[in-house]
Amino acid sequence: MNVKELHRLLGELMKEHPETKELPIRVIEDSDYEDVEDKVQGDPKTNYWLSFDTDMEVSLTGQSGYEQSGEVRLIGHGS
């Protein structure tokens, strides 16, 4: 997924459900629970929440270390 696709998906979501504009963003891995013996059955994983004023980093294409492709990083903080 890229920024354009994320923007489009979020725009569609907010158009259909305007109340989602005020919801926090939680990041989860493949499931909410740890895998035990290749089954999703363990303890709950840590919740990660995003705040875009502090939890987004951007490296543009051409910057040192990102000569071939830039990226946007969303940094989640556990709680």
> pLDDT by residue (tens digit) across 20-69?
988 877 776 667 777 777 666 777 878 877 776 678 788 889 989 989 98
In a domain, 1, yes or no: no
Mean pLDDT for the stretch of residues 2-8? 88
Domains contained in the chain, number? 1
Structure tokens at 74: 């969303």
Is 5 within the bounds of a domain? no
Q: What is the residue-wise DSSP string for the chain?
A: --HHHHHHHHHHHHHH-GGGGG--EEE--SSSEEEETTEEEEEEPPPEEE-TTTSEEEE-TTSTT-SS--EEEE--EE-
In a domain, 52, yes or no: yes
pLDDT range class, residue 8, cuts 50, 70, 90: very high
**54 belongs to a structural domain:** yes
Is the residue at 36 inside a domain? yes
Provide the domain limits for residue 35.
Answer: 23-78
- pTM of the prediction? 0.58
Asked if residue 28 belongs to a domain, the reply is yes
The first and second tokens of residue 72, run together, are 């946007």
Would 32 be classed as within a structural domain? yes
